[in-house]
Each structure stands twice: as structure tokens, then as C-alpha cells.
Amino acid sequence: MKKLLLISLLITASCNEKLHDSYRGYVYNLKKEPLSGVIVCADVVNLECTKTNKNGCFLLKRGSQNFVDDLIFVKDGYITDSLETVYYKRGHGTIYLFLTNRSDTLFMEETKQITLPNNGYK
């Protein structure tokens, strides 16, 4: 009986998860080190942006409480990434990223520089 009560409480709590009025989370590299200075943007129309701090943390006010934007992450030397902040996963329901009490994290991959042969051209 206790297990059933616990499960029903968890389901109820996850269904009623309150969304924050700001996007917030962390950005790390693939070595799990925080990335500072990552530009995080939402709402392509109004282009609201912020930067991550030395701990890789960002806080970005939502442009509308009735609409959820995708986020774009940009940093020199890293592959630019965009992320849907809301999606539906069968068996789990609606999933919100960077909008709840969870500490959501994005891992960015460094770009690789290549050298092309110049074949005698300058």
C-alpha cells in the first residue's frame, strides 16, 4: 500500500511540475568542465540572449509565459547547438528542459581544425 501511495504521489508531482519564468541551466564541454561566455539565445523574433558565467551557469528570462522557445548555444571554438526545450516522450509525457527545478546541462563539442593541402596555391 505504501508503494502505491508513493508512486501516485510521484506521478501527481511530475504532472503538476511548475515551469519557471526563466530558462536556467549549465553548459559544459565534453570533459565535464564548465564553459564560461557561451551565448545562450531564445525567441528568434526578439532575440533574447545571455552568457554563461565562470561556473557554466546561465539564466535567461522567457519572452512569453504562454510560449516555450528553443534555445541556441554559441561559443567560438565549439559546435553551435540548438535545443528544443519541450517535447513529448511516450511513456514519460511532456518533458521540459531548462524550465524546471532540475539542473539541466548541455555538453558542447569542440570544433576540429583541419588543414587542407594548398597544392602550390598561395
Q: 7 or 107: which carries more pLDDT confidence?
A: 107
Is residue 12 a part of any domain in this protein?
Answer: no
Within-domain flag for 72 = yes
Structural domain contains residue 52: yes
Query: Which residues lie across from 40 on neighbouring strands?
Result: 50, 73
Position 69 in a domain = yes
76-95: b or e for each residue (b if 16 or more CB lie within 10 Å)? eebeebebebeeeeeeeeee
pLDDT 10s digits, 38-83:
999 986 667 889 999 999 999 998 877 667 788 999 999 999 998 8
Write out the three cell numbers for 52.
554563461
From the number of C-beta atoms within 10 Å of its C-beta (0-12, 13-18, 19+), residue 25 rates as buried
User: Is 113 among the domain residues?
Assistant: no
Query: What is the total count of domains within the chain?
Result: 1
Q: What does pLDDT average to over the chain?
A: 80
pLDDT band at 31 (very low <50, low <70, confident <90, very high): very high
**24: its cell numbers:** 536556467
Query: Is the pLDDT score of 114 beyond 90?
Result: no
**Residue 10 — very low, low, confident or very high, per pLDDT cuts 50/70/90?**
very low
In a domain, residue 27? The reply is: yes
Range of the domain at 93: 19-108
Q: CATH no. for residue 102? A: 2.60.40.1120
Residue 38 lies in a domain: yes
- Is there a domain that residue 49 lies in? yes
